[in-house]
A and B are shown apart, each in its own frame.
Chain A
Amino acid sequence: MAIHFIADHNLEALLERLRRYGELHAPVRGDDGVVRFSLLIPGIIPDLTALRTLLPPKKYLLHPRETILSYTSEAGYQLPVEISPPLIMFGLHPCDLAGINYLDRIFLGDEPDPLYAARRSATTLIGVACTPDELCSCQQILSPLKALSDLFLSNVEGGFAVASGSPRGDELLEGIKDILEEQEGDMPEDSRRFFGHAVSEQPRHELDVTLPEWQEYADKCLGCGACSICCPTCYCFDVLEFSGLDGRSAVRVRQWDNCLFKSHAQVAGGMSFRKDRAERFRYRYLHKYRSFGTLHGIPSCVGCGRCRVVCPTGIDLRPLAERLEEVHHG
């Protein structure tokens, strides 16, 4: 079959070309060794071999802390005016693409979130293939989430095979056609293959509240929030309102929250639905592996392994998931 091929030596040219379409962001390894999605300045080489950035790409779509409403006594509550410049995210691995697919279902569903929607529609996703390491679990749970992207690059001898996944991708292909070569050859094994499967109908184990694991995990947990901050699909946020100095204005902000925090399930009067960390741990598991509401049955874990990497005490939910879920070892 014919593939669009781009040679390794043309990668710089490709990146330069992509900059014409928007601000180019890609995984970059900092002097401290941390790989972060950040602005790709010409001359800087993106790190396409790193399997995971510290924060997932959700940071571009749902900011850690942002104003969602502003209030003045004259105008009442108003949505923020934000101009979303075109953003090209280059080097997204399949798990991160699936993570964005999950966030899309949350924030672009029946009540689209205006800030998310504006940023998302200004974003072009360019995926790059990878091979799971021992911390990944994409290969363990076949996910119904789709690893959708505008362009997807798969490693082949001497370069990448480039495939379009959208009209936007077709437009980009057209724009880079002079640095592409048409080659005869087989596509390598698709590293997106663990995503886009039908939801398993098989009954799963009840998440028994008395399982000793909840307490065991809770005892290990520092409650630092790293697991969900670094999770590509954790979207819980807290909403706070702060009044202005003039006494006539206010801003309402949302900031990333975490289901392991004491206040997460706390309501007026100090009551809490999940008083202790063990209950909160069960809730986290439930959300990651079963989900609820309109996304019931769709695991929100995309297997990126970030929670395992960043947990100071090395908490790993996989052994429990292997027991309780229909897992498929890849």
Chain B
Amino acid sequence: MRKLRVAIAGLTACSGCQLSLLNCEDELPGLLEQFEFHFFPMACSPALLEGDYDAALVEGCVSMPHEIALLQELRRRSKYLIVLGTCAACGGVAALRNSDERELLRRMVYGQNAVAAETFNPQPLQSVVPVDAVVTGCPPEKDELLRMLTGLVRGALPVSIDYPVCTECRMHENLCLLTERNVLCLGPLTLGGCGARCPSMSVPCEGCRGPVPEANLKETFEIYNQKGFERQTVLERLRRFCPEWKL
């Protein structure tokens, strides 16, 4: 059987999503039987785009002109363009300070006299190109990555999740941190699929997987409010992983 040709690229982000894939040590030999990771600069050199790809997996935000060019190039060459991780899906940590002036940020980071590269506000991939599927997470769950890849072998795109973190948290029979412990837990607003990793360890959900479809922000904020959390506190927490939240 022909191996699937895949391109894996990282834009503005921490490379953690790509690293999650490389961390699948036990499965990598099996994956190499099924896939040709033809373009994967983080893992193999030389890395040159060449020919068409069955799928391109792209991590990170678009924040520089050359990233737009690379993304468009990947889109042109690939049957499927798959969003890898929360930054690429909705901005994530990379877009945390999008509400601040770029010039101010540049000076804060590089100092008064530095000449910084040409950048603009980090954007999710969908603001530049159409995408075929999203595997969210900061980073994505190993199981989700592997399922997405093995699904591609059968020509299937991953099934999108539409339930929040609370669903799996309840399945684990956890104490509800929000209603019982009065903790600012973003579980009701955040896309599930992580197996409620944090609340299962009594750590409130930070919202790292981005918003769940049909999130009921109004009512959830009502609960936060009753628990004594200010509007600004809630917003800051929400926007840590998704700058689009409005309250």
Contact with B along A40-72 (1 / 0, CB 8 A): 000000000000001100010000110000000
Once the chains bind, are B167 and A229 in contact (CB under 8 Å)? yes
Asked if B1 is at the interface of the complex by the 8 Å CB criterion, the answer is yes
Which residue of chain B has its CB nearest to the CB of A227? B170
In contact, A245 and B223 (Cβ under 8 angstroms): no
List chain A residues, Cβ under 8 A from B31.
245
B163 contacts A by Cβ under 8 Å: yes
| Bound CA–CA A262/B214 (angstroms) | 8
Cβ 8 A contact of A222, one of B150, B153, B164 = B164
B residues near A262, Cβ cutoff 8 Å: 162, 213-214
CB of A173, distance to nearest CB on chain B (Å): 32
Q: Please measure, in the bound complex, the distance between the C-alpha atom of A38 and the C-alpha atom of B33, giving whole angstroms.
A: 43
Structural contact, B171 and A256, CB atoms closer than 8 A: yes
A244 on the B face (CB < 8 A): yes
Residues of A within 8 A of B179 (CB): 312
Q: How far is the CA of A221 from the CA of B151 in the complex (A)?
A: 33
Contact B219 A219 (CB under 8 A): yes
Residues of chain B within 8 A of A261, CB atoms compared: 162-163
| Binary CB contact string for chain B from 174 to 218 against chain A (1 if under 8 A, 0 otherwise) | 111011100000011000000000000000000000001111101
Contacting A54 at CB < 8 Å: which of B173, B216, B222?
B173
Are the CB atoms of A226 and B166 closer together than 8 Å? yes
Given contacts A242-B147, A245-B146, A313-B222, contact A223 B175 (CB under 8 A): no
B151-164 vs A, Cβ < 8 Å mask (1 yes, 0 no): 10110100100111
Chain A residues with CB under 8 Å of B1's CB are 247
Task: Answer yes or no: B27 CB below 8 A from chain A CBs.
Answer: yes
Contact indicator A313/B153 (Cβ below 8 Å) = no
**Complex contact A243–B150 (CB within 8 A):** yes
Q: Are B153 and A243 in contact (CB under 8 A)?
A: yes
Task: Using A54-B173, A225-B166 as known contacts, say yes or no to A313 and B146 having CB atoms under 8 A apart.
Answer: no
A178 within 8 A of B: no
B220 within 8 A of A: yes
A240 within 8 Å of B (CB atoms): yes
Query: Are the C-beta atoms of A34 and B173 separated by less than 8 Å?
Result: yes
**Inter-chain contacts of B51 with A (CB < 8 A):** none
Task: Tell me how many residues of A have a C-beta within 8 Å of chain B.
Answer: 35
A312 engages B188 (CB within 8 Å): yes
Report chain A residues within 8 Å CB of B212. 223
With most chain B CB atoms within 10 A of its CB, the pick from A65, A242, A256 is A242
Partner of B164, one of A36, A224, A246, A263: A224
Determine whether the beta carbon of B150 is less than 8 Å from that of A245: yes
A220: chain B residues within 8 A (beta carbon): 219
B176–A310 contact, CB under 8 A? yes
B30, A36: Cβ atoms closer than 8 Å: no
Q: Point out the residues of chain A lying under 8 angstroms from B223, CB to CB.
A: 312-313
Residues of A within 8 A of B170 (CB): 54-55, 224-226, 229-230, 310
The A contact surface, by secondary structure, is loop
Asked if residues A224 and B166 are in contact (CB atoms below 8 Å), the reply is yes
Cβ of A258 within 8 Å of any chain B Cβ, yes or no, is yes
**Contact pick for B214, options A54, A59, A64, A277, CB 8 Å:** A277
Minimum C-beta distance from A125 to chain B (A): 20
Given contacts A36-B173, A224-B170, A240-B159, contact A245 B27 (CB under 8 A): yes
Closest to A313 in B: B219
Q: Contacts A64-B171, A222-B220, A240-B159 known; A247 to B164 CB distance under 8 Å?
A: no
Contact B153 A247 (CB under 8 A): yes
B34 at the interface (CB under 8 A from A): yes
Q: Determine the chain B residues whose CB is within 8 A of the CB of A226 once the complex forms.
A: 166-167, 170
Return A258 CB to nearest CB of chain B, in Å: 7
- Which residues of A pack against B, CB within 8 Å? 32-34, 36, 54-55, 59, 64-65, 219-226, 229-230, 240, 242-247, 256, 258, 261-263, 277, 310, 312-313
Interface set of B (CB-CB < 8 Å, partner A): 1, 27, 30-31, 33-34, 146-147, 150-151, 153-154, 156, 159, 162-164, 166-167, 170-171, 173-176, 178-180, 187-188, 212-216, 218-220, 222-223
A sample of 19 inter-chain contacts (CB < 8 A) reads A32-B175, A34-B174, A34-B175, A59-B173, A219-B216, A223-B163, A223-B212, A224-B164, A224-B167, A224-B188, A225-B170, A226-B166, A226-B170, A240-B159, A245-B27, A245-B30, A247-B154, A256-B171, A310-B170
